[in-house]
A and B are shown apart, each in its own frame.
Chain A
């Protein structure tokens, strides 16, 4: 199925961006074409891994080049595309997923309803995030903003991304400074007490993605949580099984000064944005026992459906 190959999707994504960039930036057709370009770019990202990632389950064979007699190759929905990108594209987190889907939903509204969905959609609301998401998708497929947009527009896009990051940095630095100032006003004994409480609270906090970090405001113990990116192979060491799970940090909370940061961009601005791994350990009996039970359940389901 030629339409799912990387090359054709990549070329079409560029063409749709050309159409967007030929439009008035304040008009509705600029975001309209850009929205179509974004979806194609995301599909190209998946095709780069394998075209099968774009196929509906009953069309998988077509993705491998087999003629199944079906006339229409059914592609997965845009939401599935972006959910898959979240697993494949480094730093593509919940924020990026939400932004992408809000653009796609607006496009759907434009195409399938009488609403003028892009009529009141100024570039200040979406363009900087749009370019940042494009950059993530492009990097994942070995391309660049310049190869997608052309050099001039890419330079402008980089400036917008940098400005947006600076704005985030300013907001985060302000939040840290406020909490730091509040904490420093406390008596030394109170500071110690809060740090001590934070040590216990962070230890007791349970969440698979938990990672403790020093708070950038008060130097107390804070907790980072994140979105699961990928899991490594399970390995047997001694009597236990281990698996490294990689996470993208998306939230930070300090139990001493109550500093809270949300979104990967904010954590990145605070110097807490690097991906990290958490090692899960499993008891082999429990691990294989669960797999066995899952298989049993799957078999039962299959049998049920056969009736």
Chain B
């Protein structure tokens, strides 16, 4: 079952606020409480300034721009190793962004680019909403996975409390992670089964709509859309590192 996001929760355009470049106290609390936040951001420049207020925005590729432009791409044209390379125009499964780096970005900001249009929603699923038992969470913390796609592969559990002091960090992307041993397959089964039962929030993309994800504790996915074409969807993405 999908839960539709309620735009009225954060309907004041960020440019119209007194404190133009920051979240309001209420929005900050909301992001902190639920692990994601939907809001209106009128321009790319505002998106970057908002990102700066949350931490340190950074490019996801060496020499790349701070803003990535994410466009549905058919398999043959996609860069090797990306989700598009494997899935083309299909849905993307639940994942966290930047799972292949040791400390993935804390926040992911997404915004529908000016002039773009999208029929594909983004699905948001905070980890806390999965209602896992203590035993299941312990297994996700214990089981070890190999993380590839970087120059030096490394080991990590899905839930790590040893990577960033004082934080439990969620890392999940089946296109760059695989169980390091046969025992670790349990954790994949636990999470996939929980995601099947989950009630994700569906974010419908409309002009100037933006989404902030706490990437250390919230999964997201690309919903269904046309399988034969890109309907004109371009999402802007900014990755932000922040320890707070």
Smallest distance from the beta carbon of B147 to chain A beta carbons, Å?
A: 10
Contact B144 A15 (CB under 8 A): yes
Task: Convert A1-16 into 0s and 1s, putting 1 for each residue whose CB lies closer than 8 angstroms to a CB of B.
Answer: 0100011101110110
B239 at the interface (CB under 8 A from A): no
| Cα of A15 to Cα of B145 in the assembled complex, Å | 9
Smallest distance from the beta carbon of A24 to chain B beta carbons, Å?
A: 14
| Cα of A12 to Cα of B144 in the assembled complex, Å | 8
Question: Are A11 and B138 CB-contacts (below 8 A) given A18-B184, A22-B182, A150-B183?
Answer: no
| Cα of A151 to Cα of B183 in the assembled complex, Å | 12
| Cα of A150 to Cα of B141 in the assembled complex, Å | 10
A21 at the interface (CB under 8 A from B): yes
B142 at the interface (CB under 8 A from A): yes
| Cα of A21 to Cα of B160 in the assembled complex, Å | 22
B35 at the interface (CB under 8 A from A): no
Task: Convert A140-152 into 0s and 1s, putting 1 for each residue whose CB lies closer than 8 angstroms to a CB of B.
Answer: 0000001110110
Smallest distance from the beta carbon of B186 to chain A beta carbons, Å?
A: 9
Q: Is the interface of A mostly helix, strand, loop or mixed?
A: helix
Contact B180 A18 (CB under 8 A): yes
Contact A21 B183 (CB under 8 A): yes
Contact B155 A147 (CB under 8 A): no
Question: Which of these, B160, B180, B181, B184, contacts A7 with CB under 8 Å?
Answer: B160
A179 at the interface (CB under 8 A from B): no
Smallest distance from the beta carbon of A51 to chain B beta carbons, Å?
A: 14
Chain A residues lying within 8 Å of B157, measured Cβ to Cβ, are 11
Tier of interface size on chain B = 20 to 34
Chain B residues lying within 8 Å of A21, measured Cβ to Cβ, are 183
Number of interface residues of A (CB under 8 A): 18
Chain A residues lying within 8 Å of B154, measured Cβ to Cβ, are 2, 8, 11
B15 at the interface (CB under 8 A from A): no
Chain A residues lying within 8 Å of B215, measured Cβ to Cβ, are none
Question: Are A18 and B162 CB-contacts (below 8 A) given A8-B154, A11-B156, A11-B157?
Answer: no
Question: Which of these, B141, B155, B163, B181, contacts A22 with CB under 8 Å?
Answer: B181
B135 at the interface (CB under 8 A from A): yes
Contact B155 A11 (CB under 8 A): yes
Task: Convert A119-147 into 0s and 1s, putting 1 for each residue whose CB lies closer than 8 angstroms to a CB of B.
Answer: 00000000000000000000000000011
A194 at the interface (CB under 8 A from B): no
Contact A18 B144 (CB under 8 A): yes
From 157 to 209 in chain B, residues with beta carbon under 8 angstroms from any chain A beta carbon are 157, 160, 162-163, 180-184
Chain B residues lying within 8 Å of A6, measured Cβ to Cβ, are 162
Chain B residues lying within 8 Å of A50, measured Cβ to Cβ, are none
Smallest distance from the beta carbon of B133 to chain A beta carbons, Å?
A: 12
Residue of A nearest to B145 (CB): A11
Smallest distance from the beta carbon of A156 to chain B beta carbons, Å?
A: 15
Residue of A nearest to B156 (CB): A11
The 6 A-B residue pairs whose C-beta atoms are closest, nearest first, are: A11-B155, A18-B181, A7-B162, A15-B144, A18-B183, A15-B180
